[in-house]
Amino acid sequence: MEVFQTYDQTNAWLQALQKAHPDRVWTETIGISVENRDIIAITINPVQRETILITANVHAREWIAMTSTLFLIHELVRNANMYPDLARFKWVIVPMPNPDGYEFSREHMRSWRKNRSIQPTGDIGVDLNRNFEYQWDMVIQSADEDPSSETFRGPAPNSELETKALTKLILRHRDALLYVDIHCCGQFIFYPWGYTDEPPPNQSISKRVAEAGANGIDFNKGVRYKVGTPGQLVGKAPGCGMDYCQWLNIRACTWIQLGKDDYEVDVDQIVPYGIEAMYAISAMAYTVTLP
């Protein structure tokens, strides 16, 4: 938990966790990336019925999102006795849905954000958090349609292998109580919608859950995250995973931006940010079950 692992190291760690705890941990390949890497999901407490669904590191350069998710997995499995209230949930987690982009950011370009699909223009990559089908066709800025832009939405909704893999997994768990998409940076917790400031019918639930997450971090660490829609705080995000899950009527949907103002984070911050994520998600999990 104190290094930024490679893709292979991360998968080996997940497989070892399953081998050590076969009754409580399942891993599965939910899809194959453009460069032929397995996209792995892990399920913790598979016999439980109330599901919490978590994705992270959709944007390649946001390494701390992935390591924070691994910290969460570690705590839920190896330190489960410390979190008795969380044992009631089935946790379905995808720590690295963009493995090609992640490895490219490690080996070649630290700032790389997108996946690695080749476009007809010769440009490379799609912003996976603009490629989900719900409100994909809403263009907020010209960069969304520009294949050379880091926020390029893709040639069509759900066009990317990585997005397809996530979509299939989400559809299998569309009865989930909570969806959390972990990113960095900025110290924000968002709730829907991402594409507009108009509220969805049940926005009050997601808003309450997002506020609980921010309060959980504040109470335990004295760090205050801002809470609101993406449009209110940073800018609209049509075609994002959070909105797709809201569209499917998952009870509460949120998006966390961990950390301050830089995606390049020192290794000594891996555990502190993991703890922040743990505080937020624990509070969200408790709150989403309230009437």
Instruction: Name the residue ranges covered by the structural domains of the chain.
Output: 7-288
246 close to 192: Cβ distance less than 8 angstroms: yes
- The model's pLDDT over 50-67, given as tens digits with 9 standing for 90+, comes to 999 999 999 999 999 999
CATH topology of domain 7-288: Aminopeptidase (3.40.630)
Find the helix or strand (DSSP H, E) in which 161 lies.
Answer: helix 161-172
Task: Report the pLDDT averaged over residues 205-221.
Answer: 97
C-alpha–C-alpha distance, residues 75 and 43, integer Å: 14
**pLDDT digit string (tens) for 106-160?**
999 999 999 999 999 999 999 999 999 999 999 888 889 999 999 999 999 999 9
Cβ-based burial of 142 (10 A; exposed 0-12, middle 13-18, buried ≥19): exposed
Question: Which residues lie closer than 8 Å to 63 by C-beta, 6 or more apart?
Answer: 4, 57, 102, 105, 263, 265
**What average pLDDT does range 200-205 have in this prediction?**
90
Predicted local distance difference test score (pLDDT) of residue 1: 67
The widest CA-to-CA distance across the chain, in whole angstroms, is: 53
pTM for the model stands at 0.97
